[in-house]
A and B are shown apart, each in its own frame.
Chain A
Amino acid sequence: MATEFEKFDAVVRKVFGVPHDEIVKREKEYQRKRKRAKQQRIKNDSRKTGK
Chain B
Amino acid sequence: MFAAYFDESGGKDTGFTFVCGYTATVAKWSAFEFDWKLFLATFRVPYLHMKEFSQSKKCYSTWRDNGTLRAQFLGMASEITGSHLQRAFIGMVSHDGFDKADLKYKLRERFNSPYALAGRTCVALANNRAKESKNGALAIEYIFEDGCPDKEGLIKAVEAVPPFLPAPSFKPSRDVKPSKNWPEGRIGLVQLQAADYLAYETGKLLRDLYLIRSGEREVRKSLKALTKVPVDRSSWGEVRLMQMCEGAKFARKDGGYRV
Q: What residues make up the interface of A, taking CB atoms closer than 8 Å to B?
A: 3-9, 11-13, 15-16, 18-20, 23, 27
Contact = CB atoms under 8 A, between A and B. Distances in A.
B238 A13 contact: no
Contacts of A4: 15, 94, 96
A3 B94 CA distance: 11
A45 B237 CA distance: 51
Interface residues on B, range: 20 to 34
Interface of B: 15-16, 82, 88, 90, 92, 94, 96-97, 202, 205-206, 209, 212-213, 219, 223-224, 227-228, 230-231, 233, 235, 237-238
Nearest to B230: A19
A12 B231 CA distance: 11
What is the interface of chain A mostly: helix, strand, loop, or mixed? Answer: helix
B227 A23 contact: yes
Nearest to A9: B235
13 contacts: A3-B237, A5-B96, A5-B238, A7-B213, A8-B206, A9-B92, A12-B90, A12-B205, A12-B233, A12-B235, A16-B231, A18-B227, A27-B224
Contacts of A12: 90, 92, 202, 205, 233, 235
